[in-house]
Amino acid sequence: MVTPSLPVAAPTTTMEDQAQDVIVFDDVAIAFEDNAVLKGISFRLPRGESKALFGVAGSGKSLILKMALGLLRPDRGHIYTLGQDVTQMREEDLFELRRKVGIVFQESALFDSLRVRDNVGYRLMEEGVSQDEIDRRVREVLRFVELEHTVDMFPAELSGGMRRRVAIARAIITQPETLLYDSPTGGLDPVTSTTIVELIVKQRDVYKTSSLLVTHRLQDAFTMATHCFDPKSNHMQPVARGGRVEVPMTFLILREGKVIFDGELHDLVTTKDEYIREYIS
């Protein structure tokens, strides 16, 4: 019905580009029985950039993140994560690749049977790091998300927002170069959301990670696109209009299994597309 009025970046998937891009989707489609969820999605996430994914509930945003890690295989198309085609890899080889990517699941997905310390330090335990080193790094990363006091608690004893932050801590403890966030602020109050947004901005600006971020709250993504982290005050600061600082942030909107927008904030707010205008208003 509505034809996209903006050019959708056509991904090129030569070997050279793949070295530049941390994630490339090339004509990816997936269906569950009669429900065709994604019908040919293509986009690129260049190194160092953050991309916010939008779409109504059930449009397949979480699926995109899971497919990027090879947790689920598409019916068609290719996905290159850190230059490797995850659609063709065996599960055993994927484990190696997944260690370089952090993911925060929509419902946090903390291990119920493990304490916060063991949840957060899970990857380090798997890598055989010494207990003292794990303790030190877990404390450090919990301090980063401001939850140091929960170290000996079980996930069931935490609130939803705290669990989300623990999940973020678990994803970033090994400082992966790429992070996937699934609705990190979903269902949270504005104050906690801002804390989490600030964490993500901090991660992006201080550690220069690339990230794919699903969110339902447009204002969170706008905040991310217009703020950068100031290490001196330990808070994010608005970027001056017309300033020299470029925030590496793009937006992607899904509709009915297709990408209808993929571009920068400026293009998004000046779009003439009815659906997008309604979405962002």
Partner 1 sequence: MAAGDFLSGIEFISPSEFAKKKIQSIQEYSILAAQSVVNLFRQPRYWADVIQQMDLIGFGSLPIVLASVFFTGAALALNSATTLSRFGATTVIGQLVSIGIVRELGPVLAGLVVAGRNSSGMASELGSMIVTEQIDAMRALGTDPMKKLVTPRVVATVVMLFFLTILGDFMGLLGGSIVASILLGMDAHEYWSNAWQTLVFSDVFMGLMKPLVFGFIVATVGCYYGLSTKGGTWSTYS
Which residues make up the interface to ligand ATP (CB under 6 A)? Answer: 32, 35, 37, 55, 57-63, 106
Told to check if 279 binds partner 1 by CB under 8 A, we report no
The order of strands in the sheet holding 84-85 is 35-46, 21-32, 76-81, 84-85
For the CA atoms of 86, 92, 97, 103, what is the dihedral angle to 10 degrees? 90
61 sits near partner 1 (criterion: CB under 8 A): no
Residue 78 interacts with partner 1 (CB under 8 A)?
A: no
Q: Which does 60 bind (CB under 5 to 8 A by kind): partner 1, Mg ion, ligand ATP, none?
A: ligand ATP
Closest Cα partner for 41 from 50, 49, 51? Answer: 51
Q: Does 62 bind Mg ion (CB under 5 A)?
A: yes
Options 3, 7, 16, 90; binder of partner 1; rule CB under 8 A: 90
Q: What is the CA radius of gyration of the chain?
A: 19
Q: How far is CA 240 from CA 34, 63, 94, 228, 230, in A?
A: 49, 36, 42, 10, 13
- Answer for which of 91, 132, 152, 246 binds partner 1 (CB under 8 A) is 91
At its nearest, how many Å lie between partner 1 and the CB of residue 203?
17
Shortest distance (Å) from residue 33 CB to ligand ATP: 7
Q: Do 218 and 281 meet the contact criterion of CB atoms below 8 Å apart?
A: no
Number of H helices, E strands in the chain: 11, 12
Binding-site size for partner 1 (CB under 8 A) equals 26
Residue 223 in tokens: 């905040």
Q: Should residue 193 be labelled a site residue for Mg ion when binding is judged by CB under 5 A? A: no
| Near Mg ion by CB under 5 A: residue from 13, 84, 106, 194 | 106
What is the smallest separation between the CB atom of 189 and Mg ion, expressed in angstroms?
A: 20
Please report whether residue 112 would count as binding partner 1 according to CB under 8 A: yes
